[in-house]
Chains A and B, each alone.
Chain A
Amino acid sequence: MNEPLLAVRDLEYVYPGGVAALRGLDLRIEQGRKLAILGSNGSGKTTLLLHLNGLCKPTRGEIRLEGQPVSYDHRALNDWRRRVGLILQEPDDQLFAATVSQDVSFGPLNLGLSNADARERVREALEALRILHLADRATHTLSFGQKKRVAIAGVLAMRPEILVLDEPTAGLDSHGVTHLLGALEQLHEAGATLVFSTHDVELAYAWADDVAVFHDGVVLRQGETVAMLSDRELLRRARLRCPLLLEVAEALGVEVSAASPFRSREALLVLLQERCAGQG
């Protein structure tokens, strides 16, 4: 088996108070895939994500970046954080500058780029998220969805190989979700590896290539999305429900697999129309 881009082995993290958040967890992040870390609220997903770019140091366990064990010294950390970009759930935790373009320029300047190169990176990142028109706006006048996109642009401007997003759709309305996923899909097509945490099985089912089912500080299983989400026993243990589309497919006797995933509501409508026409 190929070496994954980022591999986590036997990760354990105990909070200073003695509460264990992660208890011996394994995770593989494969190049060019979209991985959902799926788990209920408060299960420790955010803590796990903070380990993926060295913001938290594990109490035990190992993280490998392209096969090399990571180190926590200053220079190694900088390189690691450039390669693995993390976007927090709450954009106000990440945006500090008064205007959008200033905020996005922060990362590129920390990479030591010249002003001209940084300016180019800012433009590129804002364009990728289709928010170039917000460049000169004051950060505090943005809507939540806009802030979210600016926060992503701020990380994207550092050109990371892996983009890690904590609950990317939380707090967005359906239009905002569509818009955001569209932008992320484009990044993915351009070659980015995406990792996102979510408690939303429907989102994971509709959008992820792979799912890691996370519960109570461990990854119960990780694998291809359809295989994971049709495993009732696994979902029950993680206190998750089966995605609606998958349940409907089962009830209608449709074969669902990674090859014919039956993932969109459009596919469902086509199927239902066919069935109704067949009866009538």
Chain B
Amino acid sequence: MRAIDHHAWTNRWRDWHPVEKGLPAIGLLTLTLILPPLTTAPLVLAGVMLTTVYGAGIPWKTLLSVLAAPATFLLAGIPFLAISIDFTSGFALTFSPEGFQLALQTMIRALAAMSCLAFLILTMPLTDGVLLLRRMGVPAGIIELILLIYRLIFVFAERALTGRQAQAGRLGYSRLDRSVRSLGLLGGNLFQRALEQARRLEMGLMARGYTGELRVLTPRWKLSWMRLAVGVAGVSLTGLASSWLARGLL
């Protein structure tokens, strides 16, 4: 998570308007979901991965590790689509060609869709992404909540880490039963500290005139019509190429 966050804040396209990144990514995601997967998904996957690495400057290693987690789930789950279980005459496992095709389609489509999301989370800090949500009409209260949680996750993650290290230093994780006990204590302790933290944060905010609303300035981006046009053109081209391929192949 630290790595994702780090790249989101420091990548080459960090200063771009969120819409310039969000619109093409969501456009490609939509194409992936509505067009035939076998022709569209590989194009989207390759296009998005190359853009992420050579455009935004995210290292291959980071991108692949982000995609690896969902890919593992896919690999574990997908084969079962290619196998059908038959209970009519006892119990039989049979391999079905249609099932195999379905498995392949699902796999490639899911990966392509994941790559679009990976592109977004690797090139856009959560705070920018939230702006897109605001544009889409999500209520201010929910947005405040998301942003506060984002900020506090890092505060508590640090506490949790130091707490764990302190416990480990006193052999709290030397045996399985002790580990379970230590982890429970740590959790309880963090919960208490979270409440305490909330109280003190409220004091700190009250000292700055907090009256129930967390209003802050939103950054000023300049929308580049040029970049947006390139993005939209890329999506359209992918769509056209995919349809053309589909007519040729199928």
Contact = CB atoms under 8 A, between A and B. Distances in A.
Contact of B197 (A82, A93, A97): A93
Interface stretch (B30-38, B80-88, B147-155, B177-185): B147-155
Interface in B101-129: 125-127
A94 interface: yes
A105 B219 contact: no
Contacts of B204: 88, 93-96, 151
Contacts of B207: 53, 55, 81, 85-86, 88, 94, 155
Given A111-B209, A122-B217, A98 B201 contact: no
Contact of B151 (A96, A109, A122): A96
Given A88-B203, A96-B201, A138-B9, A105 B217 contact: yes
A99 interface: yes
B67 to A, nearest CB: 24
A81 B217 contact: no
A99 B209 CA distance: 19
Contacts of A90: 200
A78 interface: yes
A106 interface: yes
A173 interface: no
B98 interface: no
Contact of B205 (A105, A106, A109): A106
Given A105-B216, A138-B9, A140-B151, A158 B201 contact: no
How many chain B residues sit at the interface, stated as a range, is: 20 to 34
Contacts of A109: 215-217
A102 B128 CA distance: 12
A106 B218 CA distance: 11
Contacts of B217: 101-102, 105, 109, 115, 118-119, 122
B208 interface: yes
A140 B154 contact: yes
Contacts of B151: 95-98, 139-140
A-B pairs, 10 with minimum CB distance: A110-B209, A94-B204, A140-B154, A105-B217, A102-B216, A93-B200, A107-B208, A98-B127, A86-B207, A109-B215
Given A102-B219, A141-B6, A158-B208, 6 more contacts: A92-B197, A94-B205, A96-B204, A101-B217, A106-B216, A110-B208
Interface of B: 5-6, 9, 125-127, 147-148, 150-151, 154-155, 197, 200-201, 203-211, 214-219
10 contacts: A81-B207, A94-B204, A95-B151, A96-B201, A96-B205, A98-B126, A98-B151, A102-B216, A109-B216, A109-B217
